[in-house]
Structure 1
Amino acid sequence: MTAEAQPPPADPFATEGDLPRREDLGHIFDELDHQMACQAYLWALPLVAYAQWQKVHRETFGAGPCDLVRYLSYQDRLGLITANATTPYILNFIDLSETGPLVIELPAGPTAGGVSDFWQREIGVMGEMGPDKGAGGRYLIVPPGQQPPADAGDLRVLVSTGVNIMFGFRTLDPDPERAQALVDAVRIHPRAADPDENPTRLVSPQGRPWSGDQPRGLEYWERLYGIYQTEIVDERDRFYLAMLRQLGIVKGEPFTPDERLTRILERASAVGERMAQANSFAKRFAGARYWPDRQWDLVLMLDRSDQRAEHHDQLLERAAWFYEAVSFSAAMKSQTPGLGQAYLATYTDAHGQWLDGAKSYTLHVPANPPAKLFWSATVYDITTRCLIDNPQQRGDRGSRDRDLQYNDDGSVDLVFGPEPPSGPVGESNWVQTVPGRHWFSYFRFYGPLEPYFDRTWCLGDITPL
């Protein structure tokens, strides 16, 4: 036995000869159901996240199926998992069983967006990375199981892979007036209805507290049960449906867990989240570490929108991304210099320790970050995975900040900590952290350039002061 090897764990259950004691069978089945629930928790993360967010849109914001919710202010975005704090988000969650075939009209202009199902698989790309290439266009979203119409005309037809969809986009124009004009020109309406009778409203969160992350405890399973009643589940997932049945979640039947099952589900949601945290914040996927001598990881380890690799489906890669983020777009995996986005994340400091809101750190950004449009470094609360809710009400610093202070060589030193720095950098390069809360950071490249792809430009680690 090597020094690293450990003896196998002892069997936790007593036996009668070669079989478990009959009085232990209940405990064994409890453990079986708990383990199935933990796996079902990881499997359902993208579905439950969108179901939760859809509920917020309907019940908290009062958004209808042809409306758009615009997340503009910092306060608006505090419930949005790993939102960037630079560009606004405009989106909604639509049940195609209510609307039927749906028309989306997108104006010409610098936008990035698209449509995805509730498994967060991309159905179609729109904007600069889509077939319209920023020239605008009219799209028809056809519900699953329906044939595309023969008379689509100038409509670009997308056949949905789910009953529920998310349509969202971001305006990339830094001018607020031009960006607002783009948002105002978007139209959503059922194809069978007069668009003038179904005007698209812009809805604002208006500072109301909300959360788009997956709920905890029994509520996680209640949200999963609710969306499962109408949503499509692929053939590849039928074994997970068998697990759900054992956990009391059955299509067309009420979800009424007894005391035993409630206890198992509540424990599994807690343990499942710990597994999700480890899977996201201590990635063990091959190729996750972007530079071998730095702490920065590639955030998005999914190969494709359909979450499939050559010989398997990317269950853990999917769970990692959709625990700490929402939505997938081909633009996020762009390999074309100057187009799309690139995301790196760090969850630890230069010495491999979790980032602590009570401590102060610095991040050195070398000159000429390889981003055609802009770059930003953003701080997120580790528990909510949302923008840090600090007294400063600011979670990022980046190249669009007019007051950002640069060093003589063009590099930038950012500071993260509970108190503003007293040195020459000042508050213009500072993001406030919260004592008692751990945090992590994303570094974004909008329009990543060749030195990012060939890794000749290297970002510093977040280093304790």
Structure 2
Amino acid sequence: MFKKQFTATIIATILMSSLSINAQEVKSTTLSPAAQIHQNQASTWLNQESYILATNAYLWGSTLVRMEQVARQYTDMSQPQNDTSYRAPLNHFGHARRLPTDQDTDMPTANRDTLYSSAVVDVSKEPMILSTPTVNNRYFVINMFDMWHNLFKYVGTRTTGDNAQEIMIVPPHWQGNIPKGMAVVEAPTTKVWLWGRTQVFGEKDYPTVHTIQDQYKLTPLSQYLSQDASDFISPTLSPRAGKPDDPLRFYEELGTYLTANPIPERQQALLGQFNKIGLSKDGFDRSKLTPSMKIQLEKAVKDGQQIVANQTSNPVTMKMKDGWYYSFVLDQFGDDNALRSLISHPYLGGQGAKEAMYPITYTDAKGQLLSGNTQYTMHFKDKPPVGSFWSVTVYDAKTKMLISNDIRRFNINDQTPIQKNKDGSFDLVLSHKKPTDSKQLANWLPTAEGNFYAITRLYIPSQDILDMKWTVPPINPIK
């Protein structure tokens, strides 16, 4: 009896399964044209949703991925370093010891006014004490960036003055005893990038600048309290997440770094939307993706990169006068994630307008591309109204490098012995060909043979510059 019931159950199951399959086949083959179109449209729109979410995830998260990559790059001591490098182990300062020249091909759009200092600081285990010396009669600044490229603290000439300082950098929501008289800065993330600039008065000034740089120090709180002055070794950062040949590596990295960095409260709702593409505060789960969704995520990274790169043409981002482009938002991008990503990539480490401005131009006053085939002038009625210093530097448009020339002059700044006119004004000469006139030669800024671009650096700009009542003179072609 039991055997007959068991056999009947198996036969019934097989019949039901067969009927189910046949029903599905009938259903799929009997869809009306309108229903088929609707089904295809639904698939298209779901793919579109994945693409939009993934693009927004790139615009939002590419800054975090970039900063975590920089942290690993700038603390990688596996290769010998040259004297323009500022790499150093974790929780230590590294310093560039000379200004770059045309022979240095690893530093695009490098400045010729300051020596850089860099330190990646991890305060997850304990606070770190930043010490700076007295710095008289020259500009210096150390910027504090979190892993979202928020410049949350300036230390230096403009904001904290010339006197020696000690500042304790603490992790988010830290609680503990503060040494008497110690200034405290709470970092938004447990890793912080310190990016320093120290003004140089020519190559003969290097020894003095080196002495200042050597006094930029980082000390763990425990050693500070015990007055232990010995050197210390911090653990290295983990390797970059993901595999180089993975087309979805960006999302793998973003997911990994999200688990290590606090998400600002106002951004948590945005992150919640990315659950649909496998991204959450717990990482990246690609098992949630269909093959077509993976294609959309790959496309979103490529298109996101283009969206970011073209933010320089966004009129909300830049203001333009006489061919020069000005940005006032390098430390005030708020929720503009595309702009934030732009700044953390080609403009990594850029400062806010009150600290410094960097007007840039690729064209002359008539809108024509700057070229070594043409000679140009810049007429200054007076020196730029800055609280610290100014400079004009030109770069080869193809390589973004400094330009080789007979007199080894790569920029003109407030230290250059330029010749002024009787009324105090002066005219810079920009040309590839060396001038024969002695006054023009004194004011000559050599350019590339082909196309080039120029950057004017204005450190601690006056209110007139911030209000654009004073602007950089146009670059005029000489007829």
**Band of TM-score, shorter chain:** 0.7 to 0.9
1:103, 1:138 within 8 Å by CA — same for their partners in 2? yes
Secondary structure of residue in 2 paired with 1:138: strand
Change (3 A) 1:224 1:277: same
Q: Which is helix-richer, 1 or 2?
A: 2
User: Cα distance, 1:234 vs. partner?
Assistant: 0.9
Distance in 2 separating the partners of 1:315 and 1:58:
26
1:341, 1:444 within 8 Å by CA — same for their partners in 2? yes
Q: Is the radius of gyration larger for structure 1 or structure 2? A: 2
Alignment partner for residue 114 of structure 1, among 129, 143, 161? 143
Task: Using the TM superposition, name which of 261-270 and 100-109 deviates more.
Answer: 261-270
Change (3 A) 1:154 1:29: same
What one-letter code is carried by the residue in structure 2 that aligns with 1:224?
L
Change (3 A) 1:20 1:232: farther
1:39 corresponding residue in structure 2: 56
Alignment partner for residue 197 of structure 1, among 230, 235, 255? 230
Determine whether 1:301 maps to 2:329. yes
2:6 corresponding residue in structure 1: none
1:399 corresponding residue in structure 2: 413
Secondary structure of residue in 2 paired with 1:284: coil
What one-letter code is carried by the residue in structure 2 that aligns with 1:234?
P
2:50, 2:277 within 8 Å by CA — same for their partners in 1? yes
User: Cα distance, 1:230 vs. partner?
Assistant: 0.6
Q: Write out per-residue CA displacement over residues 214-257 of structure 1, whole angstroms, 9 at most, x where no aligned residue.
A: xx975544543442231111121124424544444444446658
1:346 corresponding residue in structure 2: 361
Higher RCO, Cα 8 Å, sep 6+: 1
Distance in 2 separating the partners of 1:322 and 1:328:
8
1:378, 1:397 within 8 Å by CA — same for their partners in 2? yes
2:123 corresponding residue in structure 1: 96
What one-letter code is carried by the residue in structure 2 that aligns with 1:103?
I
1:64 corresponding residue in structure 2: 89
Task: Using the TM superposition, name which of 40-49 and 219-228 deviates more.
Answer: 219-228
Distance in 2 separating the partners of 1:434 and 1:245:
52
1:365, 1:459 within 8 Å by CA — same for their partners in 2? no
- Match runs of 1:7-156 below 5 Å: 21-59=38-76, 63-71=88-96, 72-74=98-100, 83-97=110-124, 99-109=125-135, 110=138, 111-131=140-160, 133-147=161-175, 149-156=176-183
1:103, 1:189 within 8 Å by CA — same for their partners in 2? yes
1:81, 1:326 within 8 Å by CA — same for their partners in 2? no
Unaligned runs of 5+ in 1: 1-14, 202-215, 335-339
User: Cα distance, 1:162 vs. partner?
Assistant: 0.9
Alignment partner for residue 368 of structure 1, among 383, 393, 407? 383
User: Cα distance, 1:141 vs. partner?
Assistant: 0.9
Distance in 2 separating the partners of 1:403 and 1:47:
44
Distance in 1 separating the partners of 2:33 and 2:115:
64
2:145, 2:194 within 8 Å by CA — same for their partners in 1? yes
User: Cα distance, 1:50 vs. partner?
Assistant: 1.9
Change (3 A) 1:358 1:35: farther
Change (3 A) 1:180 1:83: same
- Once the two structures are aligned, what percentage of the paired residues are identical? 19
Change (3 A) 1:63 1:357: farther
1:411 corresponding residue in structure 2: 426
RMSD: 4.0
Determine whether 1:333 maps to 2:348. no
Unaligned runs of 5+ in 2: 1-31, 79-86, 235-245
2:324, 2:360 within 8 Å by CA — same for their partners in 1? yes
2:301 corresponding residue in structure 1: 269
What one-letter code is carried by the residue in structure 1 that aligns with 2:76?
E
Distance in 1 separating the partners of 2:76 and 2:290:
28
Change (3 A) 1:254 1:239: closer
Distance in 2 separating the partners of 1:415 and 1:26:
58
What one-letter code is carried by the residue in structure 1 that aligns with 2:389?
F
TM-score of the aligned structures, taking structure 1 as reference length: 0.73
User: Cα distance, 1:321 vs. partner?
Assistant: 3.6
User: Cα distance, 1:17 vs. partner?
Assistant: 5.5
Distance in 1 separating the partners of 2:398 and 2:305:
10
